[in-house]
Amino acid sequence: MIKEIERMEMPEWLSRDRFNFNVNEVLWDSLYYPAAGFDGDPVQYLAGNVYSFLYVDYGISREEFLREIHHPRYGFRGYHIIHQEQISENQLTPHGWTVKIWPEATSKTDLDRFMNMLRDGYIKPPFCEWVIFERDNDRDESHGPKRFSFLCLGADGVAAYQAIYLSNNIRPKIIAIIQPGTGFGFNWTDFRDENEIFARSVFYNRNLLPDYIIDGWEDGGIDRELIWSKCSEPIWSEYSRRVTEIRTSTHIWIIWARR
């Protein structure tokens, strides 16, 4: 848990003996991580600041995800699974995908890139899996909260945000933009650019804006001073209050709050 971000109490739905997926309960005040891969750092560092994590990535398959959670690393160490469930599209969007923001006409090259990745098989079949983890009995509160919820969605990060958060009128507490595959990666759009479709989706409903944005870069293989220079300015102008900086096992984070 990061001391510069307020601690939350474990929500009532997470303390129950039996679990029933309700998208509004599970994802209100959650952490949203598009282009997440299998990065466990947000769970390791932010469990307790939030209790629900939504990871989205169209480049991972359900089979890869299941292998990963049963051989936990990073933020999942010291926890075991007490609930696991496949979640349907209707459960995620009970009223349908009602808010749709489209790319600008100038983004045709980006859309062509997306279609090429789809054709080449990089984009995997969609899936959604809900897992609840509980702390092992040999660990105490200093290791992390008793439980947390983890939802993994094989989908596009922009479309998922519109369909799940905006269409359900849900507010995330934190959005993590950590090494999102721009440039030589496999992302079709730039999540950091506040003029592009992801930022425009987030700002579509100002009542649902998150409290914090994480700007994260890989800590390795690049000149560290170059990384700090990239992180020194807020990626979105409205999130200009620098909260803290974190060096995780693999990344450098700057956490920004709304001014």
User: Edge-to-edge strands of the sheet including 251-257?
Assistant: 79-86, 127-135, 147-154, 52-56, 31-34, 174-178, 212-218, 251-257, 241-247
Q: Give per-residue pLDDT as tens, 153-179.
A: 999 999 999 999 999 999 999 999 998
Residues 131-141 pLDDT 10s: 999 999 999 88
Per-residue pLDDT at 182: 63
Distance CA 66, CA 49 (A): 25
pLDDT confidence tier of residue 70, bands split at 50, 70 and 90: confident
Beta bridge partners of 247: 252
The pLDDT value given to residue 103: 82
Confidence band (pLDDT; 50, 70, 90) for 224?
low
Angstrom distance (rounded) from CA 72 to CA 88: 25
- Position 47 scores a pLDDT of 95
Give all domains of the chain, ordered by start, each with its CATH number.
Answer: 12-257 (3.40.50)
| Per-residue model confidence as pLDDT tens digits over 196-221 | 999 999 999 999 999 999 998 877 65
Question: What is the radius of gyration, based on Cα positions, of the chain?
Answer: 18
Q: pLDDT (tens digit, 9 = 90+) per residue, 83-130?
A: 999 999 999 999 999 999 988 755 555 666 666 656 556 788 999 999
Which residue do the tokens 């997306």 mark? 114
pLDDT at 171: 97
Q: Kindly report the average pLDDT of the chain as a whole number.
A: 87
pTM: 0.90
What average pLDDT does range 70-87 have in this prediction? 83
Please tell me the predicted confidence (pLDDT) of residue 123. 81
The pLDDT assigned to 136 comes to 93
- Give the pLDDT confidence score for residue 114 in this predicted structure: 63
pLDDT band at 184 (very low <50, low <70, confident <90, very high): very low
Distance separating alpha carbons of residues 199 and 112, to the nearest angstrom: 20
Question: Which range among 52-61, 187-196, 201-210 shows the weakest confidence by mean pLDDT?
Answer: 187-196
- Stretch 71-81: mean pLDDT: 77
Contact 38, 71 (CB under 8 A): no
